[in-house]
Amino acid sequence: MYILILGAPGSGKGTQGNILAERLGLPKITTGDLIRTAMQDGTPFGVEAKKYYDDGKLVPDSVILSLIKDQLARPEAKQGAILDGFPRTAAQAELVDKTLAERGQRLNHILLLDVTEDELVRRMADRGRTDDTPAAIANRQNIYQRDTAPLIAHYTQRGIVHRVPGTGTVDQISEDIKRIIGR
């Protein structure tokens, strides 16, 4: 089973993704974490990504598509995975759809974490990542609305989008998700 957790920056994708991955025994693929690790390690990919990351801009598809392809090809992810932080653009969504379709698989559920903008900004201010500066936060919210929110319409047509209110406690939200997924 492939489940995509979608939501604006600060909506709690990582937290809920971890709980879900553990419960279902599936690997979680988190592009943001992979990028942060590469930046820390100073790999060529990390150095390139940093040019965009700190400003809150998306790392270009020309750089990120091969990372996504590699991650989906990992043996652990062959039967399913929790996708956190991607697909985030139309090109990424196409790649994911195509890669899974070639294996006779598909995205089964999209969980859309719904959180108000005030709450998003408050949460990120508490977090203190290098891309949690006011300017970078504003960029990330704008880019989410421009590039990522349109994917919701694309997946809604397939009837696989579930809206999850993201403002309750961590436990309440994960119970909601359990009910939606059915396990």
- Residues 71, 140, 174, 177: which binds ligand ADP (CB under 6 A)? 140
Q: According to the binding rule CB under 6 A, does residue 17 interact with ligand ADP? A: no
**How many chain residues touch ligand ADP (CB under 6 A)?**
18
Closest to ligand ADP by CB, 62 vs 157, is 62
- Identity of the amino acid at 143: I
Smallest distance from the beta carbon of 35 to ligand ADP, in angstroms?
Answer: 5
Which DSSP string corresponds to 15-69?
HHHHHHHHHHT--EEEHHHHHHHHHHHT-HHHHHHHHHHTTTPPPPHHHHHHHHH
Closest to ligand ADP by CB, 109 vs 140, is 140
| In contact, 50 and 60? CB cutoff 8 Å | no
| In contact, 127 and 32? CB cutoff 8 Å | no
Q: According to the binding rule CB under 6 A, does residue 86 interact with ligand ADP? A: yes
Binding residues vs ligand ADP (CB under 6 A):
9-10, 31-32, 35, 52-53, 56-59, 64, 85-86, 88, 92, 131, 140
